[in-house]
Amino acid sequence: MISRLLHIFQNTPLGRETLLQAAYFSKQLRASLTIYIPRHVKFLMYFANDVVQVDLDQSYLVSPDTAQARAIKIAKEAGIEPSFIEPKHFTASALPDIPTDFDFMVCPRTISNLSSKIGLGFIGPKVHSIVNAANFPVLIASHVYKPWKNIVVFFGGSANAFNALKLGFQIQNITNFPLKLFTYAETSPEAYQKEIADQGLEDELKQRAEDWQFFESGNLTDYLYNVPHDALVVLGAFSHGLIREIMFGSKMEKIQTSITNNLLIVGYKYSAIL
């Protein structure tokens, strides 16, 4: 089954870069691309156990008469034939309901704050809310279109870390791009390796990952220099396991302020299989 990716189009130079990234991601994963061009500054996303109201900044409503033509041009130049969402249901007259039955969603780092005020190490609260509620991963696009040719999974040993790792395996299987694991080790490397073996993933790890790097001491920023600049970074967002996972918090902020890679964030409600 073809996976589906959702993108909220912003008809601005920054929005162009994000859509370029969405189209590239779709092409690499052989996924369809669905675009929503907002006509209102708010919309609702109904998830299984949560409702997220997304408040857009006004730049999402810029030049509505040119938005669809520009979006089509960008997607087709990337070799993608996009489809578009026209909301059928409204919770209120200016509050459309946007479907959530997707496999991925692409967002800039923030969708409800002016981009000029947002630093590299900041993920907006509405993007946080989507990650928290969604059963699909959210791709946080770099500010400038950046093709990726490698896959890096940040692995911390938690249940959600295994979701990120399995997703990394699936992406590697589709793209055939090199895959590496990075671990901020809070226990011995052998403990992480045992966790992998206990989950029955040892053989697949050997088959798919070309390297596994452990960071046991020193400066985290220095360690992150080893992340390839052209890698898609896959990581879990929350901590629920015996071994702590890199999550929203100090380590997550350090990663964001240190690397400019595209981040594919797996929330704890993730359940989709490619």
- Note whether residue 145 is domain-resident: no
Instruction: Let me know whether 136 and 178 are in one domain.
Output: no
Instruction: Let me know whether 62 and 189 are in one domain.
Output: no
For residue 77, give every residue at least 6 positions away whose Cβ sits within 8 Å of its Cβ, in sequence order, or none.
none
Range ranked top by mean pLDDT from 47-56, 73-82, 140-149, 249-258: 73-82
Instruction: Let me know whether 53 and 156 are in one domain.
Output: no
- Note whether residue 272 is domain-resident: no
pLDDT at residue 112, rounded to an integer: 46
- Note whether residue 113 is domain-resident: yes
For residue 26, give every residue at least 6 positions away whose Cβ sits within 8 Å of its Cβ, in sequence order, or none.
5, 32, 33, 78, 80
Task: Give the mean pLDDT of 48-66.
Answer: 89
Instruction: Let me know whether 107 and 182 are in one domain.
Output: no
Task: Quick: pLDDT tens for 209-226.
Answer: 999 999 877 777 788 889
Instruction: Let me know whether 42 and 112 are in one domain.
Output: yes
Does the structure show a pLDDT above 70 at 259? yes
Long-range contacts of 119-124 (CB under 8 A, 24+ apart): 119/257, 120/256, 120/257, 120/260, 121/253, 121/254, 121/256, 121/257, 122/256, 123/248, 123/256
Does the structure show a pLDDT above 70 at 250? no
Domain span including residue 11: 4-140
- Note whether residue 274 is domain-resident: no
- Note whether residue 271 is domain-resident: no
Q: Could you give the number of structural domains in the chain?
A: 2
Task: Quick: pLDDT tens for 121-133.
Answer: 344 567 778 888 8
Instruction: Let me know whether 116 and 21 are in one domain.
Output: yes
